[in-house]
Amino acid sequence: MSKNNKPLHVAIVGTRGYPYVYGGYETFVKEMGERLVQRGIEVTVYCHAPLFEKKPKKVNGINLVYIPCVETKSLSQLTNSLLSMIHVCFSKVDVVFVVNSANGPFGILTKAFGKPSTINVDGLEWLRPKWKGLGARYYLFASRLATKLYDQLITDSDEMEKIYLEKFNAPSKMIAYGANPRLSSDSTLIEEWDLQKQSYFLIVGRLIPDNNADLIVEGFVKSKSKRKLVIVGDVPYHDKFAQRMKQVDDKRLIFTGYVRDQEQLASLYHNCFAYFHGHEYGGTNPAMLKALGYGCAILALDTRFNQEMLQKGKFGWYFDKNAASVVDITEKAESSPEKMENLREHAREGLTDKYNWDVVTDEYETLFKALCKRKIKENLVEINY
């Protein structure tokens, strides 16, 4: 309960909305938001109005507010978040939870209005290839402001917590992302692409430079693998990078585009020979958690984040950021079916408690209540003074 014995009211700003679940943040909102509601906490999610044809005011107990935005690749998120932050500052919510370090500067609004606030900064956005030049400089500026303008900084991995301390001298609270382990799925769902169990390697993610799918494709086509490489994902706009990848001439490559059917996606994970993970700049990655939860043998780019998630090689193998290394690990995996099977058998053991959605929600609930109590104490001090 918050002040006046009313239920604690939390607003979530910076995602596409709810129940839109085609991204990591949106899945996060669904998993945590629904759990908070079940615990008696009032939750309001700010949504990108253009994405929702129907606009109900409440779904599954979660309040929904639809905010417009400038519909361009670089401005839609920022304009939606800015307008959402203005709206939330005039609302009666107790705590404002913001995601994405791009929204760092907007913390000035909640600070000015005295709203307790916290931000989950996600990954190293200023290093991502898609944000070259001005975009990269803005993200670095915004991330620095996020460490100063919000009451609590949240990072989603131990390594990201260290980076924010090293680069910005900013302590943060580490709360990871959750996973939903699953033992089985309908294997016939992969027949759409003429696939059989363990007849293919798998990549899942947006076709952007950050995820290094091009590097994996380049290395794979140079390998002697007799299996296929299935690339799940796309970009929602015309993009030369994605088009170049799709034009690589090799019959072993299968580009599925987006797979919206979660049952079909689960089947692709469950039945792959091995899962390639090329994500480079994030912290705890949802696709990696799915691969662990679905029992995949994982071949990951060697980064400090992937080392953390796979516990320094206990639950996967690593490749370096060059095509030759991808060739090597592809052929090594293909010639080591027993070792791949061993990785599959033990993958779910890598999902420690910090990746449990109930534990994640516990952490956020405790944080939100603490921020609310801190604000009440500050108000009492001012009154007494």
| In contact, 26 and 12? CB cutoff 8 Å | no
In degrees and rounded to multiples of 5, residue 179 shows phi and psi of -130, 155
CATH topology of domain 188-352: Rossmann fold (3.40.50)
Q: Nearest-CA neighbor of 368 among 61, 41, 65?
A: 41
Q: What are phi and psi of 300, to 5 degrees?
A: -120, 145
Report the pLDDT value the prediction gives residue 202, as an integer from 0 to 100.
Answer: 98
Burial 363-374 (b: 16+ CB within 10 A, else e): bbbebbbbbbee
Q: Model pTM? A: 0.90
Give the separation between CA 351 and CA 50, rounded to whole angstroms: 36
pLDDT per residue of the chain (385 residues) written in tens, 0 to 9? 544 568 899 999 999 999 876 677 888 999 999 999 999 999 999 999 998 989 999 999 999 999 998 877 678 889 999 999 999 999 999 999 999 999 999 999 999 999 999 999 988 888 887 777 888 899 999 999 999 999 999 999 999 999 999 999 999 999 999 999 999 999 999 999 999 999 999 999 888 888 999 999 999 999 999 999 999 988 767 788 889 999 999 999 999 998 989 899 999 999 999 999 999 988 899 999 999 999 999 999 999 999 999 999 999 999 999 999 999 999 999 999 999 999 999 999 999 999 999 999 999 999 999 999 876 666 655 555 5
| 265, two tokens | 């996606």
The whole-angstrom separation of Cα 205 and Cα 222 is 22
Measure the CA angle with vertex 176, ends 173 and 180; round to 5°: 155
CB proximity list for 197: less than 8 A, separation 6 or greater: 187, 271
Q: Given this model, what pLDDT does residue 131 score?
A: 76
Q: What is the pLDDT of residue 1?
A: 52
At residue 92, the pLDDT reads: 94
pLDDT on residue 2: 47
Angle among Cα 14, 109, 91 to the nearest 5 degrees reads 75
DSSP string computed for 235-300: -SS--HHHHHHHT---TTEEEEE----HHHHHHHHHT-SEEEE---S-SS-HHHHHHHHTT--EEE
**C-alpha neighbours within 13 Å on the C-beta side of residue 370:** 10
Which CATH architecture best describes the domain 9-178+356-383? 3-Layer(aba) Sandwich (3.40)
Q: 241-251: string of b/e by CB count within 10 Å (b at 16+)? A: ebeebeeeeee
Query: Do 9-178+356-383 and 188-352 agree at the fold level?
Result: yes
Q: Please say whether the beta carbons of 203 and 232 come within 8 A.
A: yes
Place of tokens 């361009």: 72
Distance of CA 210 to the CA centre of its chain: 13
pLDDT for the residue numbered 379: 60
Residue 385: predicted pLDDT: 52
Integer Cα distance of 216 and 276 in angstroms = 8
Backbone φ and ψ of 204, nearest 5°: -130, 125
**Which residue ranges make up each domain of the chain?**
9-178+356-383, 188-352
Question: Any idea what DSSP says for residue 62?
Answer: E
Q: What pLDDT is attached to residue 22?
A: 67
User: Distance between CA atoms of 342 and 51, rounded to whole angstroms?
Assistant: 43
